[in-house]
Structure 1
């Protein structure tokens, strides 16, 4: 896989549950992480007292964060409404040349900031809230 431009990594939201995704407005940076917590089965009989892990167990999760500027009031209102409702929403992370990660996420954090001589910016943080699917880019 060749190097990819960061601007091509997209964060999309299914705004109305229809399966139609729209890019989150004005994101300048995006980050996502996949995590796996393994089940530790180490015991007094473990060889050499080395830690042992049980395969295919534990908990998997994903987190997504982004920072940017809202381009319009509609985008700001949609994200803010989602935060205050506490509802889960279906999100996609599109990684060019890699694939699409999709599933339910909880909007865990929403921050606003601004300098007196600059634009208002926002940051959001998402935490996975169910099974995620991954489909490779053809």
Structure 2
């Protein structure tokens, strides 16, 4: 994979739950973190007293965060409503020439900021709330 422009990463929301994803924000900075918890099964008879882990066990999570500008007032309202309702919706993260992450996420943080001589910006964080799939480009 060659170098990618950060601005090409897209965050899309399935706002109505019917499977039609719409880009919701112009993200200027983004971060995706995939994590897997380990389950330690080390015992007194483990070879050389080295730690042993149980394959396929543990909890997997995906975290997304970004900051920038909402695409329009409707996008801002949709994300804000999800935050205040504590609702979980399907989201897609499209990474050009790499693939798409898709799954249910909850908006866990939503911050607004602005300067007197500039636009209103936001920062938001999403946490996975179920199975996240990856489809290669």
TM-score normalised according to structure 2 size: 0.94
1:64 pairs with 2:64: yes
Structure 1 residues not aligned, in runs of 5+? none
1:22 pairs with 2:22: yes
Structure 1 CA distance, aligned partners of 2:129 and 2:7? 26
Indicate if the aligned counterparts of 2:100 and 2:134 stay in contact, CA closer than 8 A. yes
**Residue in 2 that maps onto 1:102:** 102
Structure 2 CA distance, aligned partners of 1:71 and 1:13? 12
**Residue in 1 that maps onto 2:90:** 90
Indicate if the aligned counterparts of 1:31 and 1:66 stay in contact, CA closer than 8 A. yes
**Residue in 2 that maps onto 1:9:** 9
Q: Report how far residue 126 of structure 1 moved.
A: 0.4
Indicate if the aligned counterparts of 1:11 and 1:30 stay in contact, CA closer than 8 A. no
Q: Report how far residue 6 of structure 1 moved.
A: 1.0
Pairing of 1:40-79 with structure 2 (within 5 A): 40-79=40-79
Q: Report how far residue 50 of structure 1 moved.
A: 1.7
Q: Report how far residue 51 of structure 1 moved.
A: 1.2
Q: Report how far residue 25 of structure 1 moved.
A: 2.1
TM-score normalised according to structure 1 size: 0.93
Describe the superposition over 1:66-107 as per-residue Cα deviations: whole angstroms up to 9, x where unpaired.
Answer: 101224221111111111111100000111111111010011
